[in-house]
Amino acid sequence: MSTREVPTPPPSASQIDRAEGVLLTQACGDALGVPWELGHRPADGGCGSRPGEAHMQGGGLGPYSPGEWSDDTQMAVIIARVAATGADLTSRPALDAVADGFIDWYESAASDIGAQTRAVLGAVAHHRGEPDVSARMRRAACDYHKTSGGRSAGNGALMRNGVIGLTRLRDPRATALAARAVAALTHADPLAADSCVIQAEMIRANVAGPAWQGLPLNGANPLAALALVPEERRAYWHDLFDGGVYDPMNWDWPGLPATDGFTVDALGKAYLSFISANRAAASMPATFHENRAEAGSTWLRLILTRAVHSSDDSDTVAAIAGAVAGSYLGACAVPSEWADKVHGLPTGEDGEPLHAADLRELGRATALAGLT
Ligand SMILES: [Mg+2]
C-alpha cells in the first residue's frame, strides 16, 4: 500500500470568498462604528441618522472621513502583511516583524490608539528594528499587567485579531497558538488571549467549513472553540455563553454591561449581535430567504447595525463581529455602497490609503499562504 499522503483539495471559490470577507467586513463594521465610539455622535448630526441606520458617516476619535476605518483595522492590516507571507506567527522573526510594524504605526499612522496599546508600544518604540523587539514588547505588556493590578484585558488585542483565523485553516491548534502569541505582544492578561483564540477559531471553522446554506445563521459559535482554551478557564467561558451574561437568551437584555472596553464584553456583545440578527431575520417574510445573496447582505447589515447599536466601543465591537460575519457570509455579502466607500491606513506601496480590494487580497493571500 502506498504511504504517500492523500493530496488535500484546494480551497473552493466560496472558501476564497469567505477568506476575502474577513478583513473587508471587519473594516466595514469599524467604519460604521467610528462616529458612535465612546459617546460620540456623527459630526453631521443634522442628518437625522441614528445608530440603527447603517451608514458610514465618519467622525469619531480620528476624526475619520466617511468610510474610513480606525485603529482596529489599521493594526489588523499590519498583522495581515506578515501573515500573508505564510510566516509562522509564533516564530520570533514573524513576531518581531509584527512588533516593528506596530511601532511604525504608533509613530506615524495611528489616528487613534487605546491607552494600554499606547503604553506598551511607547515603552519599546526606541527598540524598533532590534532582534527580539517582540520579546521586549511582551515584557512591557507584562509590566503593564502588573501595574494594572493584574487586570489588563482590554479589547485592543481582540479588535485586530480576525485575520489570524485565516493563517492555518486546517490546524485549529496552530491557529490558537498564533492568536495567543500576537495577543501577548501588548496584552498579558490571559483573558485577552483567550478571547482572541475563540474569535480566531470561529473564523477558521467558518472558512474551513461548508458554504452557508441559508437558514439558520450559525456563524458564531464560541462554545465550539473552547477546547482550545486552557482547562482552568474553560468553565468561565462556557458559563458566560451558556447561562451567563452572554447567553443567547440575553440578546436583548437591558442589563448587559454598559461598556465594552473589557475584551470579554466586547466578544460577548459581538456574539449577541448574531443572535439579534437571527431574531430579526426570523420575523422577515418567507420571500426574504429565497434570494440567498440578498439574504446574506441583509443579515450582515443586521449583525453590524446591532453591534454598533449595542456597544459604547462601537467600532471595535462591530469590527470583531464583522470579521466573524465575513468569514461566514463572505465578501459577496458586503453591500456595494460599503465596499466602494471603505478605506483607511496604513498606506499601500503607492502612498495612498488602502481600499476594499486590498483587504480582500490580504485575506486571500493569508489563507492560501497558510495552506502550502
Ligand atoms: Mg477604533
Would you list the domain boundaries of the chain? 13-39+63-369
pLDDT digits (tens, 9 = 90+) for 105-141: 999 977 889 899 999 999 999 999 999 999 999 999 9
Please give the distance, rounded to the nearest whole angstrom, from the Cα atom of residue 161 to the centre of ligand 1. 13
Question: Has residue 293 got a pLDDT over 90?
Answer: no
Please report the pLDDT score of residue 50 as a whole number.
52
Please report the pLDDT score of residue 274 as a whole number.
95
Rounded (5°) CA angle 51-53-57:
80
The tally of CA atoms less than 13 A away on the side-chain side of residue 341 is: 21
SS3 116: helix
Question: Has residue 25 got a pLDDT over 50?
Answer: yes
Average pLDDT (236-260) is 95
Please report the pLDDT score of residue 54 as a whole number.
67
Please give the distance, rounded to the nearest whole angstrom, from the Cα atom of residue 337 to the centre of ligand 1. 21
Q: How far from the centroid of its chain's Cα atoms is residue 112's Cα?
A: 17
Please give the distance, rounded to the nearest whole angstrom, from the Cα atom of residue 372 to the centre of ligand 1. 33
Please give the distance, rounded to the nearest whole angstrom, from the Cα atom of residue 2 to the centre of ligand 1. 53
Please give the distance, rounded to the nearest whole angstrom, from the Cα atom of residue 297 to the centre of ligand 1. 23
- Cα separations in angstroms, 41 against 36, 114, 311: 5, 19, 13
Total residues found in the chain within this entry: 372
Please give the distance, rounded to the nearest whole angstrom, from the Cα atom of residue 158 to the centre of ligand 1. 12
Q: Please give the DSSP secondary-structure letter assigned to residue 68.
A: B
Average pLDDT (151-166) is 97
Percent over 70 (pLDDT), the chain: 93
Please give the distance, rounded to the nearest whole angstrom, from the Cα atom of residue 284 to the centre of ligand 1. 32
Please give the distance, rounded to the nearest whole angstrom, from the Cα atom of residue 91 to the centre of ligand 1. 28
Under the banding of pLDDT at 50, 70 and 90, the label for residue 1 is very low
Q: How far from the centroid of its chain's Cα atoms is residue 131's Cα?
A: 28
Please give the distance, rounded to the nearest whole angstrom, from the Cα atom of residue 115 to the centre of ligand 1. 12
Report the distance separating Cα 193 and Cα 187, nearest Å: 7
Strand partners, 344: 354
- Cα separations in angstroms, 355 against 54, 330, 358: 19, 17, 5
Please report the pLDDT score of residue 272 as a whole number.
96
Please give the distance, rounded to the nearest whole angstrom, from the Cα atom of residue 198 to the centre of ligand 1. 21
Under the banding of pLDDT at 50, 70 and 90, the label for residue 317 is very high
Under the banding of pLDDT at 50, 70 and 90, the label for residue 42 is low
Lowest-pLDDT choice from 68-77, 172-181, 287-296, 340-349: 287-296
Exposed/middle/buried for 209, CB within 10 Å: 0-12, 13-18, 19+? middle
Report the distance separating Cα 69 and Cα 356, nearest Å: 11
Strand partners, 355: 343
SS3 263: helix
Please report the pLDDT score of residue 44 as a whole number.
46
Please give the distance, rounded to the nearest whole angstrom, from the Cα atom of residue 74 to the centre of ligand 1. 9
Please give the distance, rounded to the nearest whole angstrom, from the Cα atom of residue 263 to the centre of ligand 1. 14
Report the distance separating Cα 356 and Cα 170, nearest Å: 26
pLDDT digits (tens, 9 = 90+) for 323-360: 999 999 999 999 999 999 999 999 999 999 999 999 99
Average pLDDT (32-39) is 82
Please give the distance, rounded to the nearest whole angstrom, from the Cα atom of residue 71 to the centre of ligand 1. 5
Please give the distance, rounded to the nearest whole angstrom, from the Cα atom of residue 191 to the centre of ligand 1. 20
Report the distance separating Cα 32 and Cα 68, nearest Å: 9
Please give the distance, rounded to the nearest whole angstrom, from the Cα atom of residue 90 to the centre of ligand 1. 25
Average pLDDT (247-256) is 94
Please give the distance, rounded to the nearest whole angstrom, from the Cα atom of residue 247 to the centre of ligand 1. 26
Please report the pLDDT score of residue 45 as a whole number.
43
Please give the distance, rounded to the nearest whole angstrom, from the Cα atom of residue 186 to the centre of ligand 1. 16
Please give the distance, rounded to the nearest whole angstrom, from the Cα atom of residue 285 to the centre of ligand 1. 36
Please report the pLDDT score of residue 217 as a whole number.
75
pLDDT digits (tens, 9 = 90+) for 49-100: 454 566 888 888 888 999 999 999 999 999 999 999 999 999 999 999 999 9
Please give the distance, rounded to the nearest whole angstrom, from the Cα atom of residue 68 to the centre of ligand 1. 10
Please give the distance, rounded to the nearest whole angstrom, from the Cα atom of residue 165 to the centre of ligand 1. 20
The tally of CA atoms less than 13 A away on the side-chain side of residue 197 is: 25
Q: How far from the centroid of its chain's Cα atoms is residue 295's Cα?
A: 22
Question: Cell numbers at residue 351, please?
Answer: 502612498
Report the distance separating Cα 360 and Cα 323, nearest Å: 12
Please report the pLDDT score of residue 6 as a whole number.
65
Higher pLDDT, 247 or 293: 247
Higher pLDDT, 25 or 44: 25
Please give the distance, rounded to the nearest whole angstrom, from the Cα atom of residue 55 to the centre of ligand 1. 16
Please give the distance, rounded to the nearest whole angstrom, from the Cα atom of residue 52 to the centre of ligand 1. 19
Question: Has residue 39 got a pLDDT over 70?
Answer: no
Lowest-pLDDT choice from 27-41, 108-122, 247-261, 339-353: 27-41
Under the banding of pLDDT at 50, 70 and 90, the label for residue 4 is low
Report the distance separating Cα 29 and Cα 22, nearest Å: 11
**CATH ID of 13-39+63-369, from 1.10.4080.10, 1.50.10.20, 3.30.530.20, 1.10.630.10:** 1.10.4080.10
Please give the distance, rounded to the nearest whole angstrom, from the Cα atom of residue 211 to the centre of ligand 1. 30
Higher pLDDT, 4 or 182: 182
Report the distance separating Cα 121 and Cα 141, nearest Å: 9
pLDDT digits (tens, 9 = 90+) for 191-243: 999 999 999 999 999 999 998 877 667 789 999 999 999 999 999 999 999 99
